[in-house]
A and B are shown apart, each in its own frame.
Chain A
Amino acid sequence: MKTLEDLKALREKLKGDIKVRQKQGTKIIIGMGTCCIAAGAREVMSAVLDELAVRKLNDVQVQQTGCIGMCEKEVLLDVIRPDEPRITYGNVKPADVKRIIADHVVNGRIIEDLVVGKIEQEG
């Protein structure tokens, strides 16, 4: 049974984690336009959230963006590790999420067979 009272305990527990979270951490960005949602973006994002929680990757930020115009390759998921190029994965299914997080987010190995784009970051 979950209640709002649980949040008091969570607040105490998470106090120590705040310092660990940095704004410079890895970002995962998922398209949430109409086309993306119809293609399954919510399920992919839910899988990302669940996997980050299982692995306790508290410093990874999950963000959304609108349609970027590659609707035929949706669901699109971008990974940006600090000081590395922005990698766009296409046709992502919830089943691909574990591999993207384990190989790329954690270990820095790009999964070439899912990549549809690469953008060098400035600065």
Chain B
Amino acid sequence: MREIALHILDLIQNSIAASAKKVFLDVNEDEEGYFVFRICDDGKGMNADLLQKIRDPFVTTRLTRDVGLGIPFIAMSTEQSGGHLTIRSKEGVGTTIEAAFLRDHLDRPPLGDLAATIRVILVTNPELQFIVRYRYGNNCFEFDSLAVKEMLGDEIDFSFPEVYLWLDAYLKQEISKVRNDQEAT
């Protein structure tokens, strides 16, 4: 994957496949020298056996073939960048993934288009409660899809073009504000 935002999109597909109703994404550009993101979901979780084997590319829950590359990809990317991947999971409770990359490592992928990732997730999963926190230094942007849905009412959701156009512009604006404020300090 060329962007960390694409890994995030891929990993959240796992949360959705695990029937998550709520996903929390935390992205921190600089956590003591590491670029860190965490995804925490309330999906069905994994048992200890699956959790132990999940980094093996030949372990997957998919039905089309016996290879799953999502977790091995992100594990490889973090390790190549002097970081780590931690997965905690409990059946019936949910899964938390933490990916850390040495921020200034040459092999760390760029964050990429986080706004596009968030928009694609919300348009195709309008029922999901998706909470995003994007942090850089002391600057922070928080977004909760439930707050937006409450403003829109029951009949209108993220699949309406006017709503997803607004969402894209809003996310881009808020993310770049956090970046610019941090870089100005």
Contacts and interface: CB of A to CB of B under 8 A. Distances in A.
B116 A7 contact: no
B141 to A, nearest CB: 12
Q: Is the interface of B mostly helix, strand, loop or mixed?
A: helix
Interface in B77-135: 113, 116-117, 119-120, 123-124
A2 B156 contact: no
Interface in B6-39: 6, 9-10, 13, 17
Contacts of A43: 116
Contacts of B165: 53
Interface string B51-91: 00000000000101100111001000000000000000000
Interface residues of A, number: 38
Interface stretch (A12-20, A72-80, A97-105, A109-117): A12-20
Contacts of A95: none
Contacts of B73: 34, 38
B91 to A, nearest CB: 22
A53 B161 contact: yes
Interface centre among B151, B156, B161 (most CB of A within 10 A): B161
A10 interface: yes
Interface in A56-71: 56-58, 61-64, 66-69
Interface string A32-51: 11110110001101100100
A119 interface: no
Query: Which interface class (under 10, 10 to 19, 20 to 34, 35 or more) fits B?
Result: 35 or more
B116 A46 contact: yes
Contacts of B62: 33, 66-67
A91 B173 CA distance: 32
A11 B69 contact: no
Interface centre among A6, A37, A38 (most CB of B within 10 A): A37
A108 to B, nearest CB: 21
A49 B121 CA distance: 12
B68 A6 contact: no
Contacts of A38: 1, 6, 73
B47 interface: no
A2 B143 CA distance: 13
Interface in B123-181: 123-124, 147-148, 151-153, 155-156, 159-166, 169-170, 173
Contacts of B9: 32, 37, 42
B119 A49 contact: yes
Contacts of A49: 119-120, 123, 161, 164
11 contacts: A2-B169, A3-B170, A7-B151, A34-B68, A38-B1, A42-B116, A42-B117, A45-B120, A53-B161, A56-B161, A63-B124
Given A11-B152, A45-B123, 14 more contacts: A7-B148, A11-B153, A14-B152, A14-B156, A14-B160, A17-B160, A34-B69, A42-B120, A52-B161, A62-B124, A64-B13, A66-B17, A66-B64, A69-B64
